[in-house]
Amino acid sequence: MESNPISRRRLLAVAAGALTVAPVVFMSREAFAATNDALRKALQYQDSPKGADKCMLCVQFIPGKSPTDKGMCKAITNDDQISPTGWCAAFVKKA
Ligand code: SF4
């Protein structure tokens, strides 16, 4: 005997919706990790320093959450995987 079939159906629908949304939320966090390969190539980006010059010392660098996390660059747009110890031809040392 069903005491309240509509509520049970609704509960199942909400649970199914939550199960559908949860992976999308986790996947979207990964989806933001992106590289701009065309600009990286054009600016000869490398994940290692060039001598003493490195992204963390460049005016274009937008740091990540910690000093060792990857960040972004004003010159290489739509790329959040710029290494603080990377380098490219657009390097401009901070004053
Ligand atoms: Fe690094 Fe080049 Fe961006 Fe400067 S311009 S932060 S050196 S990638």
Q: How far apart are CA 5 and CA 82, in angstroms?
A: 54
Distance 90 CA to ligand 1 centre (A): 6
Element (H, E) at 73: strand 72-73
Predicted local distance difference test score (pLDDT) of residue 33: 81
Q: What angle do CA 34, 45, 64 make, to 5 degrees?
A: 50
Give yes or no for a contact between 7 and 13, defined as CB atoms under 8 angstroms apart: no
Which amino acid residue places its CA nearest to atom 3 of ligand 1? 73
**Residue of 43, 73, 94 best suited for mutating to test ligand 1, as the one with most atoms within 8 Å of CB:** 73
Predicted local distance difference test score (pLDDT) of residue 30: 54
**pLDDT digit string, tens, across residues 52-92:** 999 999 999 999 999 999 999 999 999 999 999 999 999 99
Strand partners, 27: none
